Amino acid sequence: MRRTGFYAAPVRVTGAPALTAGTPMDFDAAGGARVTTDDPWLKAALVALADAWPRGLDAEGLVEQAAQNLRWSKIVPPEASEPAPIEALLDDVMELVQRRIVELVAWRPSIPSELDYVPRLRAVTRVELDQGPVVTGARHEPGPLDPWLVAVAKPLDGQHGLDACVKHLAERLAAGALDAGPLPEGAEERDVALRGLALTGMTTLRRLGLLEEPRPEEPTVEAGSGTDAGERRSRL
């Protein structure tokens, strides 16, 4: 599976990339873990996974992108005819898989690379949310959504976008069903803050693989429809 699976890692590069041998680089991973390595191949691969998150890379793509990262840093990677460094890289990545820092699955997860102005929640996710906050992610792993994400997700039916999310969040706040923490008092500033929260939530839902792929752009059906029904399918 190491040669046929798909790798993904929610890692973040700490500091400036330095791919030369002997120079340590830190990568922050989920759950507070940190990876430190001075190996050029592994550093280049982790940079590639950080750039590709949340969609991930297959094994061939991971090796190719790691080699490209080395070339960009003026480091000449081994030729493809030299399997030892590549096998050593995959050994290191598999060790990170065992430590649950890198994910490895046997199929390509369906995670949109773009966000529609009018996203549509996956049908199975909508059914799951009708039963409770636990949903199945793109990699078939169940997990609970926090109340804010549930409130953002509910209006996403492919006909309503950011305006509908903001309205729904405001209604839930007014009903005392959400804890927003401190929000601006002024109406205009409060609306801006809610829009930021809604957009962040929509982006998180996309990264979790809970939204359908964006549909092809369509011409405007009716004028004055704002960001809801009939709007051109633009990308965020």
151 lies in the same domain as 204: yes
38 lies in the same domain as 124: no
138 lies in the same domain as 208: yes
1 in a structural domain? no
47 lies in the same domain as 90: yes
Q: Considering the chain, what is the average pLDDT of its residues?
A: 86
Return the number of other C-beta atoms located less than 10 Å from residue 32's C-beta.
6
162 lies in the same domain as 193: yes
Query: How many CA atoms within 13 Å lie on the side-chain side of 165?
Result: 30
- What does the pLDDT look like over 95-142, one tens digit per residue? 999 999 999 999 888 888 888 889 999 999 999 999 999 999 888 888
Q: What would the mean pLDDT of 16-27 be, rounded to a whole number?
A: 90
86 lies in the same domain as 195: no
Q: Is 107 exposed, middle or buried (0-12, 13-18, 19+ CB in 10 A)?
A: exposed
**Distance (Å, whole) CA 32 – CA 162:** 32
Q: What would the mean pLDDT of 159-181 be, rounded to a whole number?
A: 88
Q: Which of 105, 134, 163 is the last residue of a domain?
A: 105
Question: What confidence score (pLDDT) does residue 230 get?
Answer: 40
pLDDT exceeds 50 at position 185: yes
In the block, which residue shows the tokens 């759950």?
31
At 218, is the pLDDT very low, low, confident or very high (cuts 50, 70, 90)? low
Question: What confidence score (pLDDT) does residue 217 get?
Answer: 64
85 lies in the same domain as 118: no
Question: What confidence score (pLDDT) does residue 35 get?
Answer: 95
60 lies in the same domain as 133: no
Peptide bond preceding 109: is omega within 30 degrees of 0, i.e. cis? Answer: no
47 lies in the same domain as 122: no
Amino acid at 42: L
116 in a structural domain? yes
In the block, which residue shows the tokens 């096998």?
87
Domain tally for the chain? 2
Q: Taking the complete model, does pTM exceed 0.85, yes or no?
A: no
Compute CA distances 201 → 67, 74, 113, 136, 189, whole Å. 34, 39, 15, 17, 19
At 78, is the pLDDT very low, low, confident or very high (cuts 50, 70, 90)? low
Helix axes 40-52, 83-98, angle to 10 degrees: 60
78 lies in the same domain as 135: no
- Please tell me which residue, 153 or 83, carries the higher pLDDT value: 153
- Residue range of the domain that includes 84: 6-105
205 in a structural domain? yes
SS3 content of the chain, % helix, strand, coil (to 5): 40, 15, 45
3-state secondary structure of 27: strand
Amino acid at 26: D
Q: Which of 49, 84, 105 is the last residue of a domain?
A: 105
178 in a structural domain? yes
Amino acid at 116: D
* Beta strand extents in the chain (DSSP E only): 6-8, 12-14, 25-28, 34-37, 57-58, 103-105, 134-136, 142-144
40 in a structural domain? yes
At 82, is the pLDDT very low, low, confident or very high (cuts 50, 70, 90)? low
**Distance (Å, whole) CA 232 – CA 11:** 34
pLDDT exceeds 50 at position 19: yes
Question: What confidence score (pLDDT) does residue 156 get?
Answer: 94
pLDDT exceeds 90 at position 216: no
Q: What would the mean pLDDT of 76-83 be, rounded to a whole number?
A: 67
Tokens of 6: 């798909």
16 in a structural domain? yes
100 lies in the same domain as 30: yes
- What does the pLDDT look like over 137-159, one tens digit per residue? 888 888 899 999 999 999 999 99
29 in a structural domain? yes
3-state secondary structure of 202: helix
179 in a structural domain? yes
Handedness of CA 33, 8, 81, 41 (dihedral sign): negative
Question: What confidence score (pLDDT) does residue 223 get?
Answer: 36
Q: Which of 105, 131, 162 is the last residue of a domain?
A: 105
100 lies in the same domain as 140: no
